[in-house]
A = this chain, B = another copy of it.
Amino acid sequence: MAANVEDVIMLLGDSLTQGGWQAHGFAQQLAYVYNRKLDVLNRGMSGYNTEWIQPVFEQCFATQHEQKHVPAVRLLTIWLGANDAALPGTSQHVPLPTFAANLSKLIHMVTSPSSTHYSPVTRIMLFTPPPVNTYQWRVRQQSKTPPKGLDRDFEVTKSYAQAVVDVGAKEGVPVLDLWTVLWEACGKEEQNLSKFLTDGLHLNEAGYTILFQELMAAIENHYPELHPDRLKPVFAFHDQIDYQNPRSTLVKRNIFE
């Protein structure tokens, strides 16, 4: 059984988060730079929206009663909306006001002192969903057996991204506005989004790399104490070991000191 030598970064979301374990995905890149400092737990659930993620999050995030036994979540990223923005009539669709309220609920679960999951040491970052490239997504949908209709819309997803920005402002939680970053990076031409998306909805390596770079900048900006360059590895570098009395130098350390 794993003892709690490292605190964690938890990534909550949908398939965009789940895919973060691909080579060059943002989970892989985080795990690499936080190696020996913080573990990365991927809680991305493909296809999920902000309704379905609520009971999942209640089970993934420890209650106050459990917290003394389990690793602290130092950073929580919440990245949802790509499925909530599915068009009305689809199973994944969540109306915009409900989407915004659901994001607030996830945040309050962690930040509200009256919450059973209250965790004052957890820093939260919201991500906006990427812009949809409906040119690509239409092709992907038509390639299914049987072919599916177009269930995303550029402007609709944009409005869900804006809702994330608004929730962040209302709740005082930093937002990584990936929607705007990618939109500007593609010269505001929907078809050019294929530079960053595999199928019009999901990120490719280039998209994940931009997300990772933006996340590192956002951590430096909002939570500089959590930037990996400022953290010590839990266990000493091997050239810091006292070779005469190694055990004295091989005690778990506080990464913040």
Stretch at the interface among A67-75, A133-141, A186-194, A196-204: A67-75
Complex CA gap A66/B183 in Å reads: 48
Residues in B whose Cβ lies below 8 Å from that of A60: 2-3, 5
User: Are B48 and A3 closer than 8 Å at their CB atoms?
Assistant: no
7 contacts between A and B (CB under 8 A): A1-B73, A2-B71, A28-B31, A36-B42, A39-B42, A55-B246, A55-B251
Shortest distance between the CB of A46 and any CB in chain B (Å): 6
A214 interfacial contact with B, CB 8 Å: no
A98 interfacial contact with B, CB 8 Å: no
A77 interfacial contact with B, CB 8 Å: no
User: Are B21 and A61 closer than 8 Å at their CB atoms?
Assistant: no
Complex CA gap A153/B35 in Å reads: 29
A105 interfacial contact with B, CB 8 Å: no
Please provide the chain A residues from 25 to 66 with a CB less than 8 Å away from any CB of chain B in the complex. Answer: 27-29, 31-32, 35-36, 39, 41-48, 51-52, 55-56, 59-63, 66
Chain copies in complex: 2
Cβ-neighbour of A246 out of B22, B52, B61 (below 8 A): B52
Please provide the chain A residues from 9 to 30 with a CB less than 8 Å away from any CB of chain B in the complex. Answer: 10, 18, 21-24, 27-29
A250 interfacial contact with B, CB 8 Å: yes
Residues in B whose Cβ lies below 8 Å from that of A239: 47
Residues in B whose Cβ lies below 8 Å from that of A91: 243
Residues in B whose Cβ lies below 8 Å from that of A71: 1-2
Residues in B whose Cβ lies below 8 Å from that of A62: 1-3
Residues in B whose Cβ lies below 8 Å from that of A22: 32
User: Are A45 and B235 closer than 8 Å at their CB atoms?
Assistant: yes
- Closest-by-CB residue of B relative to A53 is B250
**A residues in contact (CB < 8 Å) with B:** 1-6, 8, 10, 18, 21-24, 27-29, 31-32, 35-36, 39, 41-48, 51-52, 55-56, 59-63, 66-67, 69-73, 83, 91-92, 119, 122, 235, 237-239, 241, 243, 246-247, 250-252
User: Are A24 and B23 closer than 8 Å at their CB atoms?
Assistant: yes
User: Are A23 and B18 closer than 8 Å at their CB atoms?
Assistant: no
Shortest distance between the CB of A235 and any CB in chain B (Å): 5
User: Are A3 and B63 closer than 8 Å at their CB atoms?
Assistant: yes
